[in-house]
């Protein structure tokens, strides 16, 4: 493999890292509070608010059910507004974050739902405020589930980021398509796939390890997407 190609692999990998890293980070910053809000405004939550819950739920579902390749193009005006450009790695981060946020919100909501209602009741009996219930009970108890959810998100974003090539986002997926497919270099394609497999494996096992480390419950955590 030529050093030029090696370099390309390296920059593409970095681009993937940047896209996945920033979008999952910003997605978590927005998605976790959103997930908390979805959970607490639920009919059985600590601050039920059916209208807010319904509207948020619809919004989240709408974004989640839009195919990413369409989302990518549909949000171009917004992307340009945020980053000043509609192409490049930076620009790809915007739609990736938009996709990641509701994804994380749902995973967080479902992790929070796993927290025993008896525990919330116990906290209320202690005189905990709603804010304390969220900070001291809900989030710590759901923490392993939230980590598991974030792991899933990162893995999914690796897949999404491959489509970022459509708006010049670069990354490994794009490299695979341009060299492997369009220039008939199947070994590049194979290398890309192998690197992605290895990357996802590492992310997943790190995530699993972290979950095991922070979880003091005997049972396997279930996360529904």
Tell me which residues touch other proteins (CB under 8 A): 116, 118-119, 121-129, 132, 136-137, 140-141, 143-144, 214-218
| Whether the Cβ atoms of residue 198 and residue 210 lie closer than 8 Å to each other | no
Comparison of 11 and 215: residue with beta carbon closer to other proteins: 215
The least CB distance from residue 42 to other proteins, in Å, is: 16
Nearest to 221, CA basis, from 110, 92, 135, 134 = 110
- Which residue bears the tokens 């974050």? 97
Q: Exposed/middle/buried for 161, CB within 10 Å: 0-12, 13-18, 19+?
A: buried
The least CB distance from residue 221 to other proteins, in Å, is: 11
List all residues 6 or more positions away from 149 whose beta carbon is below 8 Å from its beta carbon: 104, 107, 108, 110, 111, 223
Comparison of 30 and 128: residue with beta carbon closer to other proteins: 128
Comparison of 4 and 43: residue with beta carbon closer to other proteins: 43
The least CB distance from residue 1 to other proteins, in Å, is: 48
Q: How far apart are the first and last CA of the chain?
A: 40
Comparison of 31 and 144: residue with beta carbon closer to other proteins: 144
The least CB distance from residue 125 to other proteins, in Å, is: 4
């Amino acid at each position: 493999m030529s050093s030029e190609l090696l370099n390309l692999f390296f920059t593409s990998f970095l681009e993937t890292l940047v896209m996945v890293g920033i979008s999952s980070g910003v997605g978590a910053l927005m998605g976790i509070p959103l997930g908390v809000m979805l959970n607490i405004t639920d009919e059985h939550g600590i601050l039920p608010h059916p209208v807010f819950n319904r509207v948020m739920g619809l919004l989240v579902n709408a974004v989640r059910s839009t195919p990413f390749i369409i989302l990518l193009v549909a949000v171009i005006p917004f992307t340009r507004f945020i980053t000043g450009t509609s192409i490049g790695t930076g620009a790809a981060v915007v739609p990736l974050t938009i996709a990641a946020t509701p994804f994380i919100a749902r995973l967080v909501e479902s992790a929070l739902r796993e927290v025993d209602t008896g525990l919330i009741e116990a906290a209320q009996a202690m005189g905990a405020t709603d804010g304390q219930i969220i900070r001291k009970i809900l989030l710590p108890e759901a923490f392993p589930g939230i980590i598991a959810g974030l792991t899933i998100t990162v893995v999914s974003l690796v897949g999404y980021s491959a489509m970022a090539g459509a708006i010049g986002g670069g990354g490994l997926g794009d490299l695979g398509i341009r060299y492997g497919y369009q220039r008939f270099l199947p070994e590049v394609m194979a290398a890309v796939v192998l690197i992605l497999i290895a990357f996802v494996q590492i992310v997943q096992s790190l995530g699993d390890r972290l979950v095991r480390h922070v979880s003091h419950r005997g049972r396997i955590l279930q996360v529904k997407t």
